Amino acid sequence: MTTALTKSLGILTKPIREAQLSNGQSPQTALVSALQRNLSELRERMSGDEELEEARHLLEEVRRDITWFCSDTNDLTWSFVQECLLLLLCLARHFNRLLEAFHQIPAVPNPATPEAAPPLPPDVLSVAQQKTLGTVLQFVVTLGLCPYLAPGVGVALGLRSAFGAAVEGAVRHDVAPAGERRLLITTNVLLEVSALSSLATPVFTRHLGDIMAALCQLAYRPQRPEGDGTKGNKGLTVEERKTCKEALHSLLGKVYQPIVIKELLVLQGGPKQACSGSRGGCAGGGGKALAQAPPWLRRLCGQLLSDRLIQPQGVQAVVRAILEGTGAGGDSDWRKCDAVAKILAACPQQSLSAESYYSQVCPQVLELLHFKDKLTAQQFQRVATRAALIMVQDRPEFAQRFLLFPLLSPLRRCAQGTGDDLSQDTVEEWELTRCIEDVYKICVVGNNPSEVLLKALADVISTLFNLFCFTKQNVSHLRTSCQEILIWCLSHSERSVALLLLKRLCGLLGEVGGVRHGFQFSPGSEGGARLTVRELISDEDDALYEKVSGEQWRVQCLVELLGEVKDSDLPGEFFLLLLQDLTAVAAEQDEVEQEVDTSSMTLLELEQHLLGRAGGHGQGLALLQALAIMCEGLPHTLLLSKPTQVVGFIASMLQRACVSLEHGTDSPVESQTLSMGMGLVATLLSGAAELTADDYSSMAALLPHLEQISQQHQETVIQELASDLRATIATHGAYHPKTVPKTASQHSTTTHSPAQPAGHSSNSLPARAQVPSQSISHPKHKTDPSVTPKVKDFQTAGRIPNPGISESSRSKAFSECLLEACDPDVPTRAVALRSLTRCVRDGDKEALQNKEKLLTLFLENLEHEDSFVYLSAIQGLAVLADSFPEQILQRLLGEYQTGATVCPPKRERSLETRLKVGEVLMRACRAMGDLAPHYGRPLIGVFLSGTRDEDSSVRASSLSNLGELCQRLNFSLGPLAQELSTCLTALIKTDREAEVRRAAVHVIALVLRGLSDKTTQVLGDVLLELYRALKWVVRSDPDDVAVLHAQLALEELDDVMRRFIFPQQKLEKKIVVLP
């Protein structure tokens, strides 16, 4: 039966495919004649062919059951469509009967072949049958559906193909049945046929849009008050229109939603255009634009699209419908994403209320950010990001409730509990990860800051910062995202808000918060973080230590975060704000200590007063801690990146000095602050950089402080200098007294080294005040006075000698450095030692002539207790040894070997000083380079002797120096290999101190690393002995560090032997020239 029906359908459509136009025959006439021959042949075959007997009986049965068949129509195209519809109904009825029988008798599996596929259902069509069915459906839609659509409803036939234009001319609308009735019949039959899954696929995959257009017209087209004059045209009944509405909504609910949305967008039609009127009005002109849809259809499609949008997964369906198949990248892709985002962000007119619309759409917008497919995720992320930003900008009240609140909910839950059950308050890893990723995509990738978005982020910035600090302690993929979000929020917030947030994160405004009490972040199983219950710490000291270390770690993380801020003045402004707060805190504490009288207080008032003072001290300590970490962790080029910030820094120092003058306190710190501030001002005004009118205007903030210093300071010299500086600034450099350049020149002669700690500064008068060496530069004369000075003119290091300085000035400077090297003031002495070291390194004539004095001076300063002084002396001795190795090394070897002074008066050196001399020798060994074989023989003897010293520290120091020297001796080590091996082996096996054994093993590793491929030639006789010593350490030594050193040494030896046994193959071709 299936074959007979498909054969009948093939007979019905075969002549159309083979018909040929006669000469002078129009396409409409040829089409009608072909349809006529088609119908005649089918009737003949049905009546005379035995193969089609069953199909004929079924056809008659179906014809008896239907009521819409019209046998007396004068339109041949409709007669052809009726026959096609009858055959389709016959095929559908036949398939239904086959499926009922198939389901009633279950298939019996074959036990011989259990892996065989199950039998196919009887409604499966072959490829040829599917092709025939598709052809019939195409003719049914073309002849029985599309010609009866109203203008603007669906895509006109004339816009599809030339055959479509021929069909429009062949169809007769003036005969019964009416066009509306024909449309209803065709649509109902297609829907009835599509009830079978095997027939629904060819119907809906190619003709869904036409069926939807027909249902929209039948169900929602406004009824005309009068007929169109055609006999029998009575329109549709209310029941028929209701049935069409139900069928339309059922169809829209069953089909894949992106396809439905595509078809609805097509049904909406194109924009208003010049070529309007008939459905094929634009076809002749070659245009393919859609005709404008009627108003009722546009409203209907808008309503249906809105219904699709607010359904579950509706937003995803809309995005897929518009963006599927567009690829990635390109200008058109970005425009489509932006257009879709605007559609999602705008509340449609058909929606019941804006609140209900955004409450349903916003969660779906956030879901678009969570796709894993690379291409889909990229497109969906663009749409979701743009839609979210547009909502935040245009509808902030709804975006705050339905978008930002769910987006930041995991971070809020970290700071606020939801109940008494602690187990329910935990936040899982996937929640925090998704939250951070979504915020990163919307804020950082979208990069469209708004007040609402920044305020929402500011509410959870404490939690976000706590999470960032946690990721800095572990390996986490959230670290970069958290850092970028924090930087984005701070950079785009208003400067006052950003500074307030920074103070809050530093703990300067009270408790940082962010994570509620009793909880903490813990590592997640997938590299993220999760919020878990904190274990209680019973020991109060441990709890206090954890609190203090946590606060310090947060400040360090904040400073590192500021270091990542690019092209922003925020770090410098925050630094100046902290300096101003420091001055205010100092003034408040002085006032409290002087004015408060506790004798008349009650116990409650006294307790509150003491708590307030304790809190104030805590805030002061937090402020000092933040300033110290900023000075240590951030470069000066970031803290003071603009001239105005340099001036602000100077103003803060002078303000502190003024506060000290007002309260009558004169501490060394305040004197150093005043000296540095006035020295900086003098250096700037003396030509350290070319100052413009704007620079002088910014320096006007210094005038009140300088005036106060000139009137209240006790020292007459400082009063005069402050007055001169004030006059120079006020006149913009027109008045330039001699005290200003003199102070600046004396300032530059004693510049600090970059390694000097922040707490070391001079306690002398401004004439000898010292400035950080990276803050001031020498004058740079420019030919163009209109060029604006850059900040680096204030900050470049002043180390280049000025060619204009005379020999007498240099001699004077050297003499002053010698005197200052004996100064009891630690910073002055250290800076002088470093200046003398620089003179030796630069080859200063006077310094080289006084090398003995310098040697004695450096040796004496080795005994100083301050690290800045003795490290400067060590550096100076190393430079001297590099310049005069024969003389200096002999003196140092004597000091190191005997532990006493070589020159009279002889006295014993302390163990610490002896170790410092060893440090000098080690630096000298590193600096020898290729000259190590020449100068190294005396050093080896001393170091080997030092390995037998009674003190374990000296033995370890000797071994360390021996390793540094031996790895540079190369082949010169050969004669000493046996002695070296014996010494190291004995120390490894017999010394009781672990640090000595570690040093001995480390010497072997350094020697192997230095000799590399020459190891087998230099140490061939002792290599086995060294190998056995290392293996003994690995097996028997109780010290883990020594074992680790031995393993590293064995790895070095293994690499050497592998290269020796398996040398690298070189593809070389030797060419020998025969005589």
Please report the pLDDT score of residue 773 as a whole number. 33
DSSP collapsed to 3 states, 222-239: CCCCCCCCCCCCCCCCHH
Q: Dump pLDDT digits (tens) for 556-615.
A: 999 999 888 888 888 888 888 888 887 777 666 555 444 555 666 676 666 665 666 655
Residue 211: band (very low, low, confident or very high) from pLDDT cuts 50, 70, 90: very high
- Distance between CA atoms of residues 923 and 437, nearest Å: 50
Residue 995, judged by CB atoms within 10 A of its CB (0-12, 13-18, 19+), counts as middle
Contact 762, 768 (CB under 8 A): yes
pTM: 0.62
Share of the chain above pLDDT 70, in %: 80
Please report the pLDDT score of residue 39 as a whole number. 81
Please report the pLDDT score of residue 440 as a whole number. 93
The DSSP secondary-structure symbol of 194 reads T
> Given the DSSP bridges, would you call strands 519-523 and 529-533 parallel, antiparallel or unpaired?
antiparallel
Identify the CA nearest to 957 among candidates 927, 998, 986: 998
Helix (H) or strand (E) holding 835: helix 826-841
- Distance between CA atoms of residues 763 and 771, nearest Å: 12
Which carries the bigger pLDDT value, residue 1062 or residue 616? 1062
* β-bridge mates for residue 531, sequence order: 427, 521
- C-alpha separations of 20 from 24, 166, 444, 629, 837 in Å: 12, 14, 66, 93, 107
Contact 564, 484 (CB under 8 A): no
Please report the pLDDT score of residue 794 as a whole number. 35
- pLDDT for 808 beyond 60: no
- pLDDT for 902 beyond 70: no
Helix (H) or strand (E) holding 530: strand 529-533
Place of tokens 């990860």: 433
In terms of phi and psi (left: phi > 0; alpha: psi -120 to 50; beta: otherwise), the region of 330 is: left
Neighbours of 841 (CB within 10 A): 15
Residue 271: band (very low, low, confident or very high) from pLDDT cuts 50, 70, 90: low
- pLDDT for 653 beyond 60: yes
Residue 434: band (very low, low, confident or very high) from pLDDT cuts 50, 70, 90: very high
Q: Dump pLDDT digits (tens) for 1013-1022.
A: 888 888 888 8
Please report the pLDDT score of residue 421 as a whole number. 52
Please report the pLDDT score of residue 226 as a whole number. 43
Contact 735, 753 (CB under 8 A): no
Please report the pLDDT score of residue 687 as a whole number. 64
Which carries the bigger pLDDT value, residue 972 or residue 338? 338
Which carries the bigger pLDDT value, residue 782 or residue 377? 377
- C-alpha separations of 589 from 312, 596, 615, 660, 1017 in Å: 63, 11, 12, 12, 73
- pLDDT for 669 beyond 80: no
- Distance between CA atoms of residues 1044 and 112, nearest Å: 67
Residue 4: band (very low, low, confident or very high) from pLDDT cuts 50, 70, 90: confident
Neighbours of 772 (CB within 10 A): 18
Contact 924, 889 (CB under 8 A): yes
Q: Dump pLDDT digits (tens) for 289-311.
A: 667 888 888 889 888 888 888 88
- pLDDT for 329 beyond 60: no
Q: Dump pLDDT digits (tens) for 706-751.
A: 888 888 777 787 888 888 888 888 887 777 676 666 665 555 544 4
- pLDDT for 754 beyond 70: no
Contact 252, 196 (CB under 8 A): no
Q: Mean pLDDT over residues 167-174, rounded? A: 74
Please report the pLDDT score of residue 485 as a whole number. 94
Q: Which 3 state secondary structure label does DSSP give 529?
A: strand
DSSP collapsed to 3 states, 535-589: CCCCCHHHHHHHHHHHHHHHHHHHHHHHHCCCCCCHHHHHHHHHHHHHHHHHHHH
Q: Mean pLDDT over residues 33-45, rounded? A: 80
Contact 858, 822 (CB under 8 A): no
Q: Mean pLDDT over residues 796-817, rounded? A: 48
Helix extents (H) in 268-416: 295-310, 314-323, 331-345, 354-367, 374-394, 396-399, 405-407, 409-415
Enumerate residues 6+ apart whose C-beta is below 8 A from 964: 922, 925, 926, 1006
- Distance between CA atoms of residues 918 and 960, nearest Å: 9
Please report the pLDDT score of residue 786 as a whole number. 36
Residue 18: band (very low, low, confident or very high) from pLDDT cuts 50, 70, 90: very low
Residue 489: band (very low, low, confident or very high) from pLDDT cuts 50, 70, 90: very high
Q: Dump pLDDT digits (tens) for 140-159.
A: 888 888 888 888 888 887 77
Please report the pLDDT score of residue 772 as a whole number. 34
Neighbours of 412 (CB within 10 A): 15
Contact 675, 764 (CB under 8 A): yes
Average pLDDT, the chain: 77
- Distance between CA atoms of residues 919 and 878, nearest Å: 9
For the ranges 138-152, 165-179, 457-471, the lowest mean pLDDT is seen at 165-179
Contact 1019, 1009 (CB under 8 A): no
Please report the pLDDT score of residue 230 as a whole number. 43
Q: Mean pLDDT over residues 975-1000, rounded? A: 87
The DSSP secondary-structure symbol of 713 reads -
Neighbours of 549 (CB within 10 A): 10
Here the tokens at position 491 are 């950079």
Helix (H) or strand (E) holding 519: strand 519-523
Identify the CA nearest to 149 among candidates 167, 176, 175: 167
Which carries the bigger pLDDT value, residue 965 or residue 440? 440
Q: Dump pLDDT digits (tens) for 1030-1048.
A: 889 998 888 888 899 889 8
Please report the pLDDT score of residue 646 as a whole number. 78
Residue 45: band (very low, low, confident or very high) from pLDDT cuts 50, 70, 90: confident
- pLDDT for 279 beyond 50: no
Neighbours of 759 (CB within 10 A): 12
Cα 155 to chain centroid, rounded: 48
Please report the pLDDT score of residue 768 as a whole number. 32
Enumerate residues 6+ apart whose C-beta is below 8 A from 352: none
Which carries the bigger pLDDT value, residue 799 or residue 32? 32
Nearest-5° Cα angle at 905, 903 to 911: 80
Q: Mean pLDDT over residues 916-926, rounded? A: 81
- Distance between CA atoms of residues 751 and 745, nearest Å: 10
- pLDDT for 285 beyond 50: no
- When computed from its CA atoms, the radius of gyration of the chain, rounded to whole angstroms, is 47
Here the tokens at position 808 are 């007498």
- pLDDT for 259 beyond 60: yes
- Distance between CA atoms of residues 347 and 402, nearest Å: 14
Here the tokens at position 79 are 């007669």
Contacts 24+ apart (CB under 8 A), 1053-1062: 1053/1008, 1053/1015, 1053/1023, 1053/1026, 1053/1027, 1056/1008, 1056/1011, 1056/1012, 1056/1013, 1056/1015, 1056/1016, 1057/1016, 1059/1013, 1060/1013, 1060/1015, 1060/1016
Q: Dump pLDDT digits (tens) for 946-968.
A: 888 888 888 888 888 888 888 77
Helices (H) and strands (E) in the chain, counts: 48, 2
Enumerate residues 6+ apart whose C-beta is below 8 A from 305: 261, 264, 265, 318, 348
Contact 769, 678 (CB under 8 A): yes
Place of tokens 């602000």: 648
Q: Mean pLDDT over residues 614-622, rounded? A: 67
DSSP collapsed to 3 states, 785-816: CCCCCCCHHHHCCCCCCCCCCCHHHHHHHHHH
Which carries the bigger pLDDT value, residue 19 or residue 691? 691
Neighbours of 34 (CB within 10 A): 17
